[in-house]
Structure formats: structure tokens, C-alpha cells
Homo-oligomer: A and B are copies of this chain.
Amino acid sequence: MTEEKATFFFHEPLGAGASKVVSGMKKREVQASVKDERLVQRRRDQMIKGAVSLFKEKGFHRTTTREIAKAAGFSIGTLYEYIRTKEDVLYLVCDSIYDHVSERLQEDLEHKQGTLESLKHGIANYFRVIDEMQEEILVMYQEAKSLTKDALPYVLNKENEMAAMFEKLITLCVENGELNLSEKQIRILSHTIIVEGQMWSFRRWTLQKLFTLEEYIEMQTEYLFSGINGVSKALQKGTITK
């Protein structure tokens, strides 16, 4: 993967600073004045926790650094001992959410077997993670655009890593002969899966009023595997119920 012209959820076309999204990319460093690594970690955790709940409530721009400091339980001066700019907080928050999601997914995708069953299971699991973390997901996708150019590649990288998980899962199925899909088809499929998960969170104002999570999983899986035609026929035959 080379030079990004990333415009995922981002406004500015990326300039020189923002390039190469390499898998296995190192974390972007956020400078702290305080040396004690353990303390830095603890303070940042407090900070992220406070910030997430504030961002949920009012978004990044409407949240002030003072509020973040207060929510984190320390003073504004202390806040700035652990970050350099307000945007650092946003980066830490996004990074942390990605990590949590990835972690939860990784956990489950550990025992990848390359069967259709395990793929379905993986998808269902992903949807459930999304459901549990919907607030965070919302925050992340809505505010990530406010990250500056140099934080961007790291975030895009995370997105790619997530897609890669599903790609791997699907590829295993292909290798096992359970599926027969081209590279490109795998790519698009994994992105579609990810987006359908996000959909549960983004469109919850309507979806979550119409369906329970499990219904949603079932129906989406049905569509995903059998498509409109398949679903249509199955319904006709009575294989699946309304």
C-alpha cells in the first residue's frame, strides 16, 4: 500500500506528512513531560475515560480542555503534562477505542478455522462488539476527521487492520475450498461486513427501533450469504420465517 489520498472521514487532502500506511505500523508517539511511564499510562487512561464520555455528549469541538481535565480528575495544568495539544486527546481516544475493538475481535478470531460456520460466527461476534461499543464507535467515526494530517495514517492503518482481519478469515475459507472468491471480491466483502456493522451503530435511531441485535445479525447474515434472491426464495419455500 502506498501514498494515500485519504479522504475517509477526513477533509483535507493529505500532503507530504501523511503517507505510507504500513501494516505493523508503530504507534504515533504523544509526548508527555512526565517521565514515569506507568504514571503516564494511568493518567492517560483517566483522561481517555473522561474524554470519551464528554465527546459522546457534546463532540470534540464543543468539549473544552478544562472539562476534560476535570472529568479526568485533575487540573488543566496536569492535563498538559501528559499531552501537547487538545488534538492529542482525540488521538488517544480514537487509538484507545480502536484498540479495544481490535482486541475484542482478535480474541474471538483467534481460533479461525476456515469454515463458513466460523466466518458467520466471526461476523456475528463483530456485530455484538459493535453493539456493546456503539457509543465509542460513534465518537470515533464522527470525530476522527478532526485529527490532523499526521495522525491520520495511524487511524487509516487501524481501519485497514480491521478489514484485514476479515480478509484473513475469508481467505481461509477460500483456501479451504469453502468459498470461491477473487482477491477483489474478498476485499469488497470485508469492507461491506465492517460497514454493515457500523450501520447498526450509525443508524440505530431507526434500526434499533425495528430490530433486536440478534434479529439484525440473523437478517444481515442471511442477506450477506444468500443475497436478495436467496432470501426471497427461502422465504417462499418457508425455509426462513418472516
Q: Convert A171-183 into 0s and 1s, putting 1 for each residue whose CB lies closer than 8 angstroms to a CB of B.
A: 0000000011111
CB pair A207–B188 under 8 Å, yes or no, is yes
Bound together, the chains give a CA A138 to CA B145 distance in angstroms of 11
CB pair B179–A191 under 8 Å, yes or no, is no
A5-B205, A8-B205 given; A184·B242 CB < 8 A: yes
Interchain CB contact (< 8 A) of A224 among B191, B228, B233: B228
Question: A67 contacts the other chain (Cβ, under 8 Å)?
Answer: no
Question: A74 contacts the other chain (Cβ, under 8 Å)?
Answer: no
Interchain CB contact (< 8 A) of A210 among B9, B184, B229: B184
Interface residues of A in 177-215 (CB under 8 A from B): 179-185, 187-189, 191-192, 195-196, 199, 202-207, 210-211, 215
> Measuring CB to CB, which residues of chain A are less than 8 angstroms from any residue of chain B?
4-9, 11-12, 55-59, 61, 138, 142, 145-146, 156, 159-160, 163, 179-185, 187-189, 191-192, 195-196, 199, 202-207, 210-211, 215-216, 219-220, 223-233, 235-236, 242
New A-B contacts (15) at CB < 8 Å, excluding given A8-B206, A156-B205, A192-B196: A7-B204, A11-B142, A179-B228, A181-B235, A184-B210, A184-B215, A185-B219, A187-B210, A188-B210, A188-B216, A188-B219, A224-B227, A225-B227, A226-B230, A227-B231
